[in-house]
Structure 1
Amino acid sequence: MTTPDHQSPAPQPPVPAAKDRIYRSPLALVAGVLLLALVGWLGFDALVHGHGRTPWLALAGLILIVPLVVAFTLRPAVYANDDRLRIRNPFRLITLPWGEIASLRSGYTNEAVMKSGAKYQLWAIPVSLRARKKAARRQARVDSAGAGGGRGVLGGRGGRAGGGLGLGGFGAFGDADASTGPARAETDKIMDDLREVLERRGEAEAAQGEVTVRWAYEVAAPAVAGAVLLAILLAIG
């Protein structure tokens, strides 16, 4: 009588990769859609109703302008997960393992500074000086209200701290309200979140690797072709 062979354990399914958190500029998306609608309407009208060289000029202009509008408005995005940061700029796709990033810097632009000294701008997370000033004024009002309320509370251990202010966050990007932290501009809060991931995952084994940069030829090539065609049409008169 034979004994049954020992059965090997069933293979475990692969662990799914962490999902990317995607950051984009809502204003850029809206502006891109409106510009494409305007350019398409004007270009189509010139193609259909134009005479002589006008349809050809309109076609060359569309081939040139449409990729540029897409590149600077609809295309920019930042993808972040636990292993790497991917930056999709107008003409490049840059993949940065967290282990290769020295810092995330915010000045007049938001940038990823590499340990090698290279810098990459985050087009999808633009800096708004107006939003910073607005957040600073809001924080000043919160601080003033908190200082005034503190003087009027007796028995602080039993009272409620900071209640009744009713200051909500920005929502779309997960900004904290005044009760959970200082008021911050929307894009500054996003950079704070990315810095937290960098600090937490910078030394992780899975977050090491090489920086890769790929040029977006699918965007640049049509724009160059449109520019060449437009130049030829203008040159031949």
Structure 2
Amino acid sequence: MTDSDGRPDPGSAASELKYADRVYRSVPGVISGVLLLAVAGWLIIDAVLTGSGRTPWIALACAPVFGLPVIAYTLRPTVRANDVRLLVRNPFRTVDAPWASVEGLRAGYSVELFAGGKKYQVWAVPVSLRARKKATRSATRAAAADDPKASRGADLVNPMRSVRAGQPDPTKAWSDQVVVTLLEIAERNAGNPAAAGPVVVRWCWWLIAPTAVGLIALITLIVATN
């Protein structure tokens, strides 16, 4: 939980981990997805209303082929963490990993989850090299100003080093802060009996099936027009 100014409330840390999920998603991804869907929707509706021949049907077939992948890659990815499990919702599948099965998290060129002997990409937490460069400059300035935070500059080399969960750190990129926070939660709950169990992977068929059907219909319409 946080105060109104966005800072963590120290007195509610335990209750937050017990009752509330931490939710992470890419805000720029969500914004770009909404804009793409708005533009695509306008073009498809215009083609359906003003098109002739097979054009309206082709436009309708394009709707799931374009719209559902946009939803999958921009609006759907989410990471939820509580004191029992880590839930990673990727474009076309969901990974439900109890903390006892989580072997590690790594933020390289992308964020990766190691659980149940397998590796999974974490789409909801994109790695920004630009943000890392900005964090490096912030750490350099802090060191030059003899700021107490400068002692944490080494975390840039090793983003797994522990910092206070939920505490914003200008010397770390957002993706690295998320990884550190999740690792702290994993360490804290590794011995929790309720956090035991296997990794469960579920495919998102409500996105996969309509996209495949729309693609088949689109190809059929295009071939029929030739």
Same fold (TM over 0.5): yes
Q: Distance in 2 between matches of 1:233 and 1:186?
A: 45
Q: Which residue of 1 aligns with 2:194?
A: 206
Partner of 1:78: 79
Q: Who is 2:178 aligned against?
A: 190
What is the letter of the counterpart of residue 182 of structure 2?
L
Structure 2 matches for 1:117-132, cutoff 5 A? 117-132=117-132
Query: Under a length normalisation based on structure 2, what TM-score does the superposition of the two structures give?
Result: 0.81
Structure 2: 5+ residue stretches without partners = 1-17, 150-164
Deviant stretches of 4+, over 6 Å: none
Counterpart-to-counterpart distance in 1, 2:176 and 2:45: 41
Q: Distance in 2 between matches of 1:89 and 1:38?
A: 24
Return the letter of the residue paired with 2:196. Answer: Q
The aligned counterpart of 1:43 is 44
Give, in angstroms, the shift of residue 64 of structure 1.
Answer: 1.0
**Aligned residue in 1 for 2:144:** 144
Alignment correspondent of 1:231 = 219
In the TM superposition, what is the alpha-carbon distance from 1:117 to its structure 2 partner? 2.4
Match of 2:168 in 1: 176
Residue 175 of structure 1 contacts residue 186 of structure 1 at CA under 8 Å; is this kept in 2? no
Give SS of 2:145's match: helix
Structure having the higher Rg: 1
Deviation string, structure 1 residues 82-102 (Cα, Å, up to 9, x no partner): 010001100001100010011
What is the CA distance between 1:175 and its match in structure 2?
Answer: 4.6
> CA–CA distance in 2 between the matches of 1:63 and 1:124?
22
CA contact (8 A) 2:81 2:87 kept: yes
Structure that is richer in helix per residue: 2
Q: What is the CA RMSD across the aligned residues, in angstroms?
A: 1.7
Q: Secondary structure at the match of 1:209?
A: coil
Q: Aligned partners of 1:175 and 1:235: how far apart in 2?
A: 57
Segments of 5+ residues of structure 1 without an aligned counterpart are 1-16, 148-160, 163-172
**Size of the alignment, in residue pairs?**
193
Which amino acid letter does the alignment assign opposite residue 189 of structure 2? R
For the Cα contact (< 8 Å) 1:85–1:98, is it kept in 2? yes
- TM-score of the two chains, using structure 1 as the length reference: 0.78
CA distance in 2, matches of 1:176, 1:49: 52
Return the letter of the residue paired with 2:173: A
Q: Deviations over 1:203-235 (max 9, x none)?
A: 221110111111000111111111000010011
